[in-house]
Amino acid sequence: MPAPVVARTRAELDAALRGARHDGSTVALVPTMGALHDGHAALVRQARDLGDVAVVSIFVNPTQFGPGEDLEAYPRTPDADLALCEREDVDVVFMPSVEEMYPGGVESSVMVDPGPLGTILEGAARPTHFRGVLTVVAKLFAVVRPDVAVFGEKDFQQLALIRRMVRDLGLDVRIEGHHIVREDDGLALSSRNTYLSAEEHQQALALSRALQAGAAEGAVGPVAVLKTAWDVLGDAPGVQPDYLVLTDAYLGDVPPDFTGEARLVVAAKVGTTRLLDNLPVSLTPPPEGR
């Protein structure tokens, strides 16, 4: 299995993808910030199924980190990342510098405004986060020019905003989500899990337990879903909930009489580590007589 081509500049990326663009091959992109794990590997496998050429970008994007957040401490494992990309048969790995992605400087860069959806949930806690996320994703789309891009559903609000950006700006790329990949004990895979001590890891399992308990009440209705989930999360030692909400597929409010598919979304701190998780919820009463 050949090692992927590593491109660190736009010129090198263009050279690596010139053949694919010339012969009409479809390009599938998996944007990442590195510290790759089995969840990323699942995204890569989906990308390989969706495109002829698989591209993984690895870039710790400074504009999505706010003051006091973990930009400098964010895990960086380039050698292990490249080894995973080779195992998963990635064709091209794009590993640009900050200067390559923000040639005019970060502070003076044009930024993408996420609109009202960027001010709720994670956006309320991290006011500049989604502006940075959408800006770097738009830049990657412009540089890589993928036909399809694959994102994990763990960052559900991020996925919804990227889909909205693509629609509103008329970007010619298909967005595909991949279900959350979990550890055997249920914890959603995340690069930030490396920050957790063994005790904190056990405490963090309350997030998935709360989501599962709430989702099991879907046939009863939205009020029961939220109450049950909060009952589990509120009693969990070591967990500091930020929010636990039930939304529709577009992050809209779910009224008490809502039926259909919804999403139970949670954010909480365990120790000093902020964790996200979510789970689909079917708010459809069972047929009469069952």
What's the pLDDT score for residue 290? 47
Catalytic residue among 37, 40, 129, 178: 40
138-187 pLDDT, tens digit each: 999 999 999 999 999 999 999 999 999 999 999 999 999 999 999 999 99
- The average pLDDT across 80-108 equals 97
36 pLDDT above the threshold of 50: yes
Q: CA–CA separation, 27 vs 145, rounded Å?
A: 8
187-243 pLDDT, tens digit each: 999 999 999 999 999 999 999 999 999 999 999 999 999 999 999 999 899 999 999
Percent above pLDDT 70 for the chain: 98
Catalytic residue list contains 129: no
* pLDDT tier for residue 47 given thresholds of 50, 70 and 90: very high
What is the per-residue burial (b if ≥16 Cβ within 10 Å, else e) of 50-87? Answer: bbebbbbbbbbbebbbeeeeeeeebbebeeebbebbee
Q: CA–CA separation, 63 vs 71, rounded Å?
A: 9
- Of 148, 128, 150, the closest CA to residue 39 belongs to 150
What's the pLDDT score for residue 288? 65
- The average pLDDT across 88-98 equals 98
Which distant-in-sequence residues (6+ apart) come within 8 Å of 100 by Cβ? 8, 9, 10
Mean pLDDT across the chain: 96
What domains sit in the chain, N to C, each tagged with a CATH number? 5-178 (3.40.50.620), 191-283 (3.30.1300.10)
289 pLDDT above the threshold of 60: no
70 pLDDT above the threshold of 90: no
What's the pLDDT score for residue 159? 97
pTM for this model (two decimals)? 0.94
134 pLDDT above the threshold of 60: yes
What's the pLDDT score for residue 2? 87
Please give the C-alpha separations between residue 11 and each of 7, 96, 102, 189, in angstroms, as whole numbers.
8, 11, 15, 33
- The average pLDDT across 239-251 equals 95
What's the pLDDT score for residue 285? 76
